[in-house]
Structure 1
Amino acid sequence: MKKNVLFFFFVILFPLVAYSSGNDAVANPAAVVEEGDVRFTVLTPRVIRMEWDSLHRFTDERSFIVINRNLPVPEFKKIIRGGKLTIRTDELELTYKLNTGKFSKENLEIKYLNKKRAFTWNPSVTQKQNLKGTARTLDRMDGTTFIKRNEPRHELQLEDGILSRDGWTLINDSSGLLFDNSDFSWVKERENRTVQDWYFMAYGSDYKAALKDFTLFAGKVPLPPRFVFGYWWSRYWAYSDNEMRDVVSQFEKFNIPLDVLVVDMDWHETDSLFAKPDKWGQRKHWTGYTWEKRLFPDPDQFFDWAKSKHLKTTLNLHPASGIAPFESQYKDFAKRMNFDISTHENIPWQGSNKKFMSTLFDVVLHPIEQQGVDFWWLDWQQWVFDKDIEKLNNTWWLNYTFFEDMERNTDKRPLIYHRWGGLGNHRYQIGFSGDAYITWNTLEYQPYFTNTASNVLYGYWSHDIGGHKFIEDDNIYQFDPEMYVRWVQYGALSPILRTHSNKDPSLVKEIWRYRDEYFDALYNAVRLRYQLVPYIYTMARETYETGVSLCRPMYYDYPEDERAYTYSRQYMFGDNILVAPIGAPMENGVSDVKVWLPAGNDWYEWHTGTLLNGGQELIRQFSIEEYPIYVKAGAVIPMYGKEVNSLDDNPKKQIIGIFPGAAGEFSIYEDAGNDQRYAAEYATTRVTSQLENRIQRIKIAPREGHYRGMNHSKDYLVRLYGAEMPRSVSLNGMKVNYTVLPNSSEWSYCGKEFMVSIPISNADCNKSYEIVVEFDKANVVDVNDGMIKQLKTLHRAIANRKFKYAGNYVVPEVTGFCSETNLKVSYDPDNFCHYINYFKTHFQEAMEITLKDDLVSPFAK
């Protein structure tokens, strides 16, 4: 009887106690198959953990890569027959020869059961088609080439990612570092002996499923605060408080939105009173934590001012030199560490020392955070690995400790801004890609680099938009405005929009210092970024839920099409937007871009107003103010209006953009913006659009969910892009009147973008709304064949002629009639089709007349 009780406790009850202890690293016993010196854990139908340990001391601690094994148990069968163990799920079948020890090709085999992509794997099979991951930094990179004076050039090698065209990935965590179970979980080394701790992932070409599975056992990608998706102003410059205020006043003067002020390393002192600068006038050290009072005489007042402007601040840290005697915190720090201050030496950096790091946070960093800094920019550029723990990567560890400290000690969302440290680092965003060179090669490479980073879930790269510095040996010291425009346009459609540059007066990145078409293009790019924030933020929530990054390679959605791999710079920007970034200078005033538009739907080329068929490759042309942005036909895209200059709060006005060509739907995501309750406290609003028999129905469903501080009403503005002039518009069965001048109660039409705007003022978010738009069934015209670009081209040609002839140019009749089409359709909606057809018939003639070389002004003498 006693033996049976002990059996019940240790075999049945004890595993359940361990399972219910709250340690998510311990798998549900129902998912575990243990036979002698091997243990298998079925994590998902496609993922299985495989352990061999001759001492049977299997690892249940969290590792740096794997933090959760307590997952819902998939259905699987366990069969032992003929000395073999077989584990079968719906997706894979594992076979192991029992009592044969270490995993090898002789005793272990896994079959992937998907009929389309079936394969057999054993430990001797080598992966051949890894789709790559990312790299620690782009410091000193000209595209993919590392260049540094007096050092050999070499090509950048990206780390392997967790996705491969082979259809499987093996993660070998056998020697990976672990976490202990303390309150502030700390690094723990594995026992110094040979074990096998593998995670096999089978997914065929279902890359999104693989990413989702990885988040289940390796952790989710945290949702950043909403302000992160605004514009970051950053420059390596010894800004003072006054100068920072001057910069922000220029943003306000030119109505340029801004959310983050990045203060580089000059905010703090770096030498003692007796240290002398080097021969170039530069300081000797980078580390510092004591405010430079010559630049910031009262940091508290600086932070108060920044917050009054709805700005978030981040300060740069280079912590490698430890705590120097000149630091204001030196004595307190030394006392906590029992360090002898009589030596007048630096307290050395000890990243793996828990007491040192706790003291760093408590004595040095928390007081500055209480002054008002919102998050830290870590800039570790020194030794790669910790001096006490050989395998501990300093970048990875700093990211973890800073992120974890913020999560434990504030109610704000933890946020870190640093370089990539290795697999598992996706849990600690945002990435800082380093000091890349200012070249077209670098701009051309960054989209691919950002795309592949999503293969390790490190989707929030922040690049130095515009590049950091010139190549030392090139003797090029003139900043190319066209390159900068194209870089900012890409930045607006990348994870983070942050302009930055070296301490070089020739690097001009202030938008207001550009003129004419360059200013317009830069301004419009930043405005587009803010316009798209509700869409971007919804996609960021999707990243949290699924592991699929905002900027993702084409093969996530089109894995069976070879072009998804060859068009490696092209990417999906969320679910509904495709971007084909420009990475080369214009020729004859235009950029030729070869783009692949996948089959399955049509695509709306936003900047030209052209609806293009999917399933084709084509070359498209773009002026400096245009960019290759393609929206899925019928897509519903939530947006902000031009009144939004900060993402500090949820604005009351919500624009709902609906694009032409098909039916569509979208669930708009909202939350409080910067709290840690977002996992459970959020709201969504579903919008659908249907077009049938020339009647379009847009339905806004009642909002679902709740978060603190949310608006109970909104001012909706529904915009139909690429739409003909409606014959009637109704809201919840009531007719809405037409107006030429937009207002809050009537619908209007913008002929410049062929866009219908329908306002719903003070809408109750708990109610549903239906808009019915009826179009003329007898007269149908196509306004999505590039007319928007044609109108812009004609307007520009006329303006150039007037300039050439000092304003005395008389516009020919056909040219004038064509050029005013966008306004005439608004003024006289009943004759919409007539004006459009006239334009289509006479546009080419109007352009030829306008551009005729021998044209002479009648006023010329």
Structure 2
Amino acid sequence: MNFNKIKFKALIIAVVIISGNINAQTYQKTDSGLKFSNDNMNVEVKFYGENTIRIIKYPLGKSFEKNSLSVIKQEQKIKFSVSEKTNIISLKTNDLNIFINAKNGEITYKSSSGKELLKEKENDFKPFNDAGNPTYSVTQSFQLEKDEPIYGLGILQNGKMSQRNTDVKMIQNNTWDFVPFFQSIKGYGIYWDNTSPTQFTDTLEKTSFSSEVGEGVDYYFIYGKNADGVVAGMRDLTGNVPMLPLWTYGFWQSKERYKSQDEIVGVVKKYRDLKVPLDGIIQDWQYWGNNYQWNAMDFISPDFPDGKKMVQDIHDMNAHLSVSIWSSFGPMTNQYREMDKKGMLFNFQTWPQSGLESWPPDMNYPSGVRVYDAYNPEARDIYWRYLNKGIFSLGIDSWWMDSTEPDHLNQQPGDLDTKTHLGSFRKVRNAYPLVAVGGVYDNQRKTTSEKRVFILTRSAFAGQQRYGSNTWSGDVNSSWEMLRNQVPAGLNFSLTGNPNFNSDIGGFFAGVYRRNGGAKNLSFQELYVRWLQYGAFTPMMRSHGTDVPREIYQFGNKGDVVYDVIEKFIKLRYTLLPYIYSTSWDVTKNNSSFMRALSMDFPSDKKTWDINNEYLFGKSILVAPVLNAQYTPEKVIKTDENEGWNNANNKKEDALSNVDFTQNKSVKVYLPSGADWFDFWTNEKHKGGQEIQKSVSLQSMPLYIKAGSIVPLGPDVQYATEKKWDNLTLAIYPGADADFVLYEDEFDNYNYEKGSYTEIPIQWNEKSKTLTLDARKGKYKGMIEKRNFNLNLPNGQKKIVSYSGKKVSVKF
């Protein structure tokens, strides 16, 4: 017997067997994708739309079942082709080519033209004991191009626009709100669908999400082709944005805190007497009396003797009231007693820690305040029942949901083992704001459709845009560095699909200025004005903080420079309400964004990719806030939440003199290429693609309008709905074709969902120099049948046109 021949035949047979295995189909096609297994894991690919793909990977021999808290869309049956060659499974749709290595499960995403979009690297499952439940810690890595900017991740106080080279532990806290999602300049996004604490790490070698708890890797690849498309894809997955009431886009005044019914009503009266516009006033904490009655959701403090009359007095002045509600309850509240009996309260430390209103907390007198289990639908219903009975029934207009992270102080080793309705607190930690805010939204919607839900909240997660909420950036300090951080923080948050962002105008902790003149301190005045100018171009314009009161009259009197500039920008906000409200409709109907990173609209201009100090507000207005001190010394202030509350170390500073806020200064502004730009104040025209020097004083900030824009301007009012929009100005900025849709409805109910609204499409034809008001679409009760439009061009040409709903054109 020839031993070598036997070896050769065996080798041939082995090659044939291996070859057969290579060419055999290793996957199973399903209605919405495919699945397969390799040596160590199961892989599932599911389509949630033609360009949205869910990837699930989990250890071999295990099962994977999950009800996402964020994703509300179901998997879809779509047309796709699939083939396999040499261990590579290929899926094709109209726009995407997906290549899966069947041996290691790694996936490469390419466009239909063959351009590589993203490539997976390794993934990992490490056994983990989650409060007695055997599970895994999970990691998925990707390979990005070296110079590829990415955006998103939530509200990050790191001052960065592109989040390359970021390494951050994503666990909700007071001033950092995390959404495990990023999108690329290449037109794709990744949503990592995991609610546990997650490490996001980006290096040149790899970009990874690593979560403490997960049955497997679970993420969505969204190919939107551009930033708006990715945002639309994310909202398609996690929920669209409802319309907010018109009045919420007016000016809000607040402070920590109005200490009596007379005080808060008096603030509204003072604004009305001064004829400074105001729509919202906020009552912060302690209207319930003391810390043992924390969040009782009732006006039981003797300083608030008649809550119903207080609400009526504010409404009689055509203003709206929001009140502070929390995620926790004191032991002397009815909510605490009912939830405690049902095991719906957590045992970790939260704020306030002491029953006494002193700082630091006196732990000889613990408050007993506990966070409630918002993951439990019954608990959310109990929460609303007390909220509805105690204060919504009085006519309260909106909610300030504070501490929705929630506050978790002095974290102990076992705290994340805390049992919730959905498993350990660790497993669902980052989604707390989503379920807490969602509980109030859903229950108010069930209660009435006459008043739109509006929730101001301190924390957010993926999908929260569907709950009528606007997230503010937490208790940030009053410093220039912190003001600078707010711009990219808001832009990155918007790029996760959450369009509604704001910050405390002036910064929350103003302690350093408290003993140095407060609102009369020139350093604080300069910071406050620049923050207010920025705030005028965010989705909510809200003045708030502690230590230094912020009402306009605290800064002086009419005729004083600082008072006048505050009034000027509040009035400018009201002038822009028709533009802002129509933009709000564009957000709801077309998945647009209010605050637009320059890279969204000018991706081919690489200089825009990492600009963190300018943005578009809507699609026409370029905002370049002044983010550095020009008249006073710039202090570097670093505080955390505890230091912010502790004002004992504030040192007296030397008083400033000879500060002239009317003196002109110079700032640099970059105007993106691909458009010409008109100076909002002077109508001077500039070519795009250049950096210019702009002369400003404290009374002005750089604002530019994109050529090819139509901006509707409203009347001079004291509150948003004081006057009808029957005599609007249309500011036309030529140089390119333009279009705009003027949107109107009943302003504060949900009839728009049933079609009760109007749209007036407006176009500018650059070649023929013609403005066309198209036929009005739709109708609603009380709509304006006939109106005038005042048409203004930058060169001074003006015309008036009457409009009764039929198409009309005006030639210049």
Structure 1 residue aligned with 2:319: 311
Question: SS of 1:430's equivalent?
Answer: strand
Give the conservation status (yes or no) of the 8 Å contact 1:138–1:436. no
- Please tell me the residue identity of whatever aligns with 1:33: L
Distance in 1, matches of 2:188 and 2:344, equals 52
The question of whether the paired residues in 1 share the 8 Å contact of 2:680 and 2:705 is answered with: yes
Counterpart of 1:758, as a letter, is: I
The answer to whether 1:50 aligns with 2:50 is no
* Structure 2 residue aligned with 1:721: 793
Mapped to 2, the partners of 1:434 and 1:658 lie a distance apart of: 38
CA distance in 1, matches of 2:306, 2:176: 44
Give the counterpart of 1:419 among 453, 458, 469.
458
2:562 corresponds to = 518
Structure 2: stretches of 5+ with no match in the other structure: 1-28, 123-140, 164-173, 198-210, 346-365, 410-415, 632-659
Aligned-partner residue type, residue 740 of structure 2: F
Matched AA of 2:770? R
What's 1:373 paired with? 396
User: Is the counterpart of residue 87 in structure 1 residue 94 in structure 2?
Assistant: no
Q: Which residue of 1 aligns with 2:307?
A: 299
Alpha carbons of 1:157 and 1:426: their partners in 2 closer, same or farther (altered >3 Å)?
closer
1:791-846, Cα deviation, whole Å (9 max, x unpaired) = xxxxxxxxxxxxxxxxxxxxxxxxxxxxxxxxxxxxxxxxxxxxxxxxxxxxxxxx
Q: Per-residue displacement from partner, 1:272-307 (whole Å, max 9, x unpaired)?
A: 6xxxxxxxxxxxx75443314432221111212222
Instruction: Report whether the alignment pairs 1:350 with 2:350.
Output: no
SS in 2 for 1:526: helix
Two-structure CA RMSD over aligned residues (Å): 3.8
Matches within 5 A, 1:417-816: 417-428=456-467, 429-472=469-512, 476-478=516-518, 479=521, 480-504=524-548, 510=554, 513=557, 515-586=559-630, 589-643=663-717, 645-647=719-721, 651-681=725-755, 682-690=757-765, 696-707=769-780, 709-724=781-796, 756=798, 758=800, 760=802, 763-765=803-805, 767-773=806-812
Q: Specify the alignment match of 1:405 in structure 2.
A: 443
Paired residue type of 2:111? Y
2:337 and 2:216 map into 1 onto residues whose CA distance is 46
Tell me the CA shift for residue 564 of structure 1. 0.4
- CA deviations 1:430-459 (Å, max 9, x no partner) are 112222222222222222221111121233
Of the three residues 254, 257, 262, the one matched with 2:274 is: 254
Say if 2:68 is the partner of 1:63: yes
Distance 1:338 1:319 in 2: 12
Give deviations 1:314-334, integer Å, cap 9, x for gaps: 1112342x2432x47777778
Structure 1 residues 514 and 503: alpha-carbon distance in aligned structure 2, compared to 1, 3 A threshold: farther
User: Which one-letter code corresponds to 2:237 in the other structure?
Assistant: F
The structure-2 alpha-carbon separation of the partners of 1:345 and 1:584, relative to structure 1 and needing over 3 Å to count, comes to closer
Aligned residue for 1:113? 112
After superposition, give the CA deviation of every residue in 1:603-642 in whole Å (9 maximum; x if it has no partner): 1101122111122111111122222111112411122111
**Residue aligned with 1:719, SS:** strand
In 1, distance between residues paired with 2:666 and 2:312?
A: 48
1:392 counterpart residue number = 428
Q: Deviations over 1:699-739 (max 9, x none)?
A: 211211233x24141422323132345xxxxxxxxxxxxxx
Q: Which has the higher strand share?
A: 2
In 2 relative to 1, CA 156–310 (structure 1 residues): closer, same or farther, beyond 3 Å? closer
Distance 2:785 2:495 in 1: 39
- CA separation of 1:454 and 1:509: change in aligned 2, threshold 3 A: farther
Instruction: Please give the alpha-carbon distance, in whole angstroms, between the structure 1 residues aligned to 2:371 and 2:214.
Output: 30
For the structure 1 residues 368 and 427, does the alpha-carbon distance in structure 2 shift closer, same or farther, using more than 3 Å as the test? same
Is the 1:288–1:318 Cα contact (8 Å) retained in structure 2? no
Query: Secondary structure at 1:267's aligned position in 2?
Result: coil
Q: CA contact under 8 A between 1:40 and 1:51: conserved in structure 2?
A: yes
From the superposition, tell whether residues 505 and 597 of structure 1 become closer, same or farther in structure 2 (CA, over 3 Å): closer
Larger mean Cα displacement after TM superposition, 159-168 or 497-506: 159-168
Other structure's SS at 1:295 match:
coil
Q: How far off its partner does 1:74 sit? A: 4.6
2:367 and 2:536 map into 1 onto residues whose CA distance is: 46
Q: Is the 8 A contact 1:634 1:660 kept in 2?
A: yes
Residues 576 and 117 (structure 1), Cα distance of their counterparts in 2 relative to 1, 3 Å cut: farther
Matches of 2:538 and 2:296 in 1, distance apart?
32
Partner amino acid, structure 2, of 1:195: G
RCO comparison, higher one (Cα < 8 Å, 6+):
2
Structure 1 residues 38 and 435: alpha-carbon distance in aligned structure 2, compared to 1, 3 A threshold = closer
After TM superposition, list the pairs within 5 Å mapping 1:1-16 onto structure 2.
Answer: none
Report the TM-score, using the length of structure 1 for normalisation: 0.69
Cα 1:363–1:288 change in 2 (3 A) is: closer
Instruction: Summarize deviations over 1:515-549 as a string: whole Å, max 9, x none.
Output: 43323321121111111111112222222244432
User: Which position in structure 1 is the counterpart of 2:349?
Assistant: none
Letter in 1 for 2:257: W
Mapped partners of 1:402, 1:427: distance in 2: 12
Q: 1:138 to 1:230 in 2, by over 3 A?
A: farther
1:499, distance to aligned residue in structure 2 (A)? 0.5
Q: Can you list the C-alpha shifts for 1:489-534, whole angstroms capped at 9, x where unaligned?
A: 1111112100012144598665664643323321121111111111
- Counterpart contact for 2:117–2:188, Cα < 8 Å: no
Compared with structure 1, are the counterparts of its residues 139 and 355 closer, same or farther at alpha carbon in structure 2 (3 Å cutoff)?
farther
Residues 208-242 of structure 1: CA deviation (Å, up to 9, x unaligned)? 22111111112223332222111111111334332
TM-superposition CA deviations, 1:735-754 (whole Å, max 9, x none): xxxxxxxxxxxxxxxxxxxx
Distance in 2 (alpha carbons) for counterparts of 1:485 and 1:193: 46
Q: 1:83 to 1:56 in 2, by over 3 A?
A: farther
Q: Deviations over 1:630-676 (max 9, x none)?
A: 11124111221114622478644333222244442211122222223
Tell me how far apart the structure 1 counterparts of residues 155 and 730 of structure 2 sit (CA, whole Å). Answer: 39
Structure 2 Cα separation of the partners of residues 44 and 509 of structure 1: 54
Q: 2:331 aligns with which of 324, 328, 335?
A: 324
Letter in 1 for 2:313: W
After TM superposition, the structure 1 = structure 2 runs for residues 86-165 of structure 1, keeping only pairs within 5 Å, are 86-96=90-100, 104-105=105-106, 108-114=107-113, 120-123=119-122, 125-127=142-144, 129=148, 131-133=150-152, 161-165=181-185
1:33 equivalenced with 2:34 (yes/no): yes
Q: Percent identity?
A: 22
Asked if structure 1 preserves the Cα contact closer than 8 Å seen for 2:44 and 2:55, the reply is yes
Tell me the residue number matched to 2:298.
Answer: 290
1:570 and 1:579 in contact (8 A); partners too: yes
Q: Answer whether contact 2:745 2:783 (CA < 8 A) is retained.
A: no
Q: Cα distance, 1:166 vs. partner?
A: 6.3
CA distance in structure 2 between the partners assigned to 1:35 and 1:104 by the alignment: 9
CA distance 1:29–1:675, change in 2 (3 Å): farther
1:577 partner amino acid: I
